[in-house]
Structure 1
Amino acid sequence: MHIGIPQETRVGETRVAATPETVKKYVAQGHHVTVQSGAGVRASVPDGAYEAVGARIGTMAEALGAELVLKVRAPDDAELAQMKRGATLVGMLNPFDTENNVRMAATGITAFALEAAPRTTRAQSMDVLSSQANIAGYKAVLVAAHHYQRFMPMLMTAAGTVKAARVLILGAGVAGLQAIATAKRLGAVIEASDVRPAVKEQIESLGAKFVDVPFFTDEEREIAQGVGGYARPMPADWMKRQAELVHQRALQADIVITTALIPGRKAPTLLHEATVQEMKPGSVVVDLAAAQGGNCPLTVADEVVERHGVILVGHTNLASMVAADASALYARNVFDFLKLVLDKEAKLTVNLEDDIVAACLMCAGGELTRAN
């Protein structure tokens, strides 16, 4: 099969969907791989590295004209126009974007959105959300440290003692847990909160204190268990109690990192403007939910702004700031997913009885296969 690896065209997207490591495996399986010239440069992979493992360097049209196209982000109209009817596309295609799904279906391609894979043990090796969120959580702490005008660790010097930074992390999924681990390595004092009580042990094992919001009803306890590894929207009474507790902790914090996301929904508000108004001057908020409306209403997507003396960071693609490793992990996710849809003769086989394949399939034969 002819596999194409185009360069990502979205502004700020530095990742690439295949690395020399995975291209070498595709070539060994008998595939022909065309990599657009410059596709990996922003991820520290020159064209020569792809050529050394058997890929051919070509144009965008040649990469997008392949039978199987591997991308990081969903194609725009110009890219879709260069894809062949009947071709297969694999990438992070935003499965909740109905308009995009309709556009892809209209071109007659078969498209798989890897973010839609179920959060099961079998799907872990192809879980792009986890692999990229892990990087985002790490980078969020480094970005916060960059904007924070004091040391992170406690330092005892001849000129006096510097207190350790206090970090509050809201949401303890993959990104939040990595943020805890990274902030701990930098010597910060950390507190973390999450809807799901089951993550308390994980939070404490990484050296953070769990901010516990009590549950008053069985309904609250049930909802808090989440579904598919994600949190669910909590009742208003619990959200009010959480907001009060977060408000108190945020006033003591130097850095707040928010990571709460609910697939297909606007991000929940965890840090209100009234709280930001009372935070310490020079405090830093890194909002990992900026692309979905933000966990703080003052966050501006893709911008760093100052409000009420607090710096709010709204980067929407933190993983691209660590492009080399982000690409390496993503490329492995893609490679493992393709094992499910390519048979021994290297032909596309869509087995809808496979729960992972069925969940990721967005469109085929000109028809939508996913209802949002």
Structure 2
Amino acid sequence: MLAQGSGLTVGAVRESFPGEQRVAIVPAAVKTFAKSGLQTVVEAGAGQAAGYPDEQYAAQDASVEQDRAAVFAAADVLLQVRGGGGNPQFLDADLELLRPGQVLIGAYDPLSDPKSIARLAERGVSCFALEFLPRITRAQSMDILSSMATIAGYKAGLLAAAALPRMFPMMMTAAGTITPARVLVIGAGVAGLQAIATTRRLGAVVSGYDLRPAVREEVESLGAQFVELPLESGEAAESGGYAREKDEEFYRKQQELMHRVVAESDVVISTAVVPGAKAPVLITPEMVEAMAAGSVIVDLAAERGGNCALTKPGETTTHGGVTIIGETNLPSLIPYHASQMFANNVASFLQALLNEEGQLEINLEDEVIRETLVCRDGQVIHPRMRERLGLAPLESK
């Protein structure tokens, strides 16, 4: 049971999204919370799949509750890996357990499912969707998207190496010389750069492609060749540092130019996603058919429909001898460190919400807090969410 005290209680439950192995609080975070005067409550087994048994939480003086509803009831602040639109199958069950005034922090996929944010607002909670975190220096320690993209890029490289029926590095052996595998990484964001770094460490010859010429230096600094296609590109990002959509004609021309590059690759790792939108199709069936049998495509955009036209989200399939991996939750495949990184991000964000007395203080003058707060006091307040829901802008106070 929770000890009695005047401090706030922060909690996490076992994630209910199918196959999700991460947890939003790791034992080390309990100590961090205690230093700020916070108590911690977790559902029994919440960290088990990630490698954090209940005993480790109890050793840090966290309360471990057998009843999921008891955690919801005790927590003033609930931390979630997947909530709201990020876990639509179990949204109804969570809504019943929420109470007015409760604070939610985590990933809620607001752009894909704005109605879920409206439903959270109806419960009277204050919800912070960290997908909206501004890309500023002060927010880097809170950036769940970058943390999880790092994990995804790393795991994508390992999956490709495991699926490819040849070795990545060049080797000179008594049995002859083995030529290195050729890897193409599409997209040089956090996930793409990590995929480049991982496949390079494994010994492959790696090329990286991105619409933004400015990332050429980053790609080449990792030992990869930057692929240039004669397209009008510029910076493919909107304010805030997130990718934006291009028109169909742009993607058609891009596909034509990319055909040869894809066909020459043994492995293609695609990472192009646009928040809240279907992923652009960059790899056509004709490109897949031009690849050699045994080649591998790892589609990090599978959850958004996929960059490859033949990707089946959540499945690994083959087409003409080419393996297409459509895993939709790569961070969950490395749950120990993914949970550690996620927990550090949300703990850092929570610290920004606390005043010197350890009490919650939602300061809308703070850009980090203002940009991530999607609902409060019974209404959706984030401008982008209101626009998606067809609601009139709120009057400025």
TM-score range, shorter chain: over 0.9
The 8 Å contact of residues 27 and 55 in structure 1, kept in 2 or not, is answered as no
Name 1:89's counterpart in structure 2.
104
Give the AA of the match of 1:245: L
Matched residue SS, 2:297: strand
Give the drift of 1:160.
1.6
Matched residue SS, 2:127: strand
Give the drift of 1:349.
1.3
Name 1:260's counterpart in structure 2.
272
Residue 367 of structure 2 is aligned to residue 331 of structure 1: no
Correspondence for 1:48 among 52, 55, 68: 55
Residue 219 of structure 2 is aligned to residue 210 of structure 1: no
The 8 Å contact of residues 12 and 79 in structure 2, kept in 1 or not, is answered as yes
The one-character-per-residue Cα deviations of 1:141-163 (angstroms, maximum 9, x if unpaired) are 10111111111111222222221
Unaligned runs of 5+ in 1: none
| TM-score of the two chains, using structure 1 as the length reference | 0.95
Residue 93 of structure 2 is aligned to residue 78 of structure 1: yes
Matched residue SS, 2:156: helix
Give the AA of the match of 2:242: Y
| TM-score of the two chains, using structure 2 as the length reference | 0.89
Give the drift of 1:115.
1.1
The one-character-per-residue Cα deviations of 1:251-301 (angstroms, maximum 9, x if unpaired) are 111110000011122111111111111111111100000111110111011
The one-character-per-residue Cα deviations of 1:44-91 (angstroms, maximum 9, x if unpaired) are 001111111110111211212211111110152112211222211111
Q: Distance in 2 between matches of 1:340 and 1:81?
A: 28
Give the drift of 1:339.
1.7
Q: Distance in 2 between matches of 1:221 and 1:191?
A: 18
Q: Distance in 1 between matches of 2:306 and 2:147?
A: 21
Residue 325 of structure 2 is aligned to residue 317 of structure 1: no
Matched residue SS, 2:167: coil
Correspondence for 2:42 among 17, 35, 52: 35
Name 1:61's counterpart in structure 2.
69
Name 2:283's counterpart in structure 1.
271
Give the drift of 1:15.
0.6
Residue 373 of structure 2 is aligned to residue 361 of structure 1: yes
The one-character-per-residue Cα deviations of 1:230-260 (angstroms, maximum 9, x if unpaired) are 3333455543443233210111111100000
Give the drift of 1:165.
0.7
Give the drift of 1:8.
0.3
Q: Distance in 1 between matches of 2:236 and 2:11?
A: 43
The 8 Å contact of residues 212 and 234 in structure 2, kept in 1 or not, is answered as no
Matched residue SS, 1:81: helix
Give the AA of the match of 1:38: G
The 8 Å contact of residues 195 and 231 in structure 1, kept in 2 or not, is answered as no
Residue 25 of structure 2 is aligned to residue 10 of structure 1: no
Residue 212 of structure 2 is aligned to residue 196 of structure 1: yes
Give the drift of 1:346.
2.4
In terms of mean alpha carbon deviation, does 161-170 or 238-247 score higher?
238-247
Give the drift of 1:213.
1.7
The 8 Å contact of residues 196 and 226 in structure 1, kept in 2 or not, is answered as no
Aligned residue-pair number: 368
Correspondence for 1:347 among 340, 347, 359: 359
Q: Distance in 2 between matches of 1:237 and 1:10?
A: 37
What percent identity do the matched residue pairs reach?
Answer: 46
Give the drift of 1:228.
2.8
The 8 Å contact of residues 251 and 280 in structure 2, kept in 1 or not, is answered as no
Unaligned runs of 5+ in 2: 1-7, 85-90, 389-397
Name 1:100's counterpart in structure 2.
116
Residue 165 of structure 2 is aligned to residue 158 of structure 1: no
Pairwise mapping of residues 220-235 of structure 1 onto structure 2 (< 5 A)?
220-224=232-236, 227-234=239-246
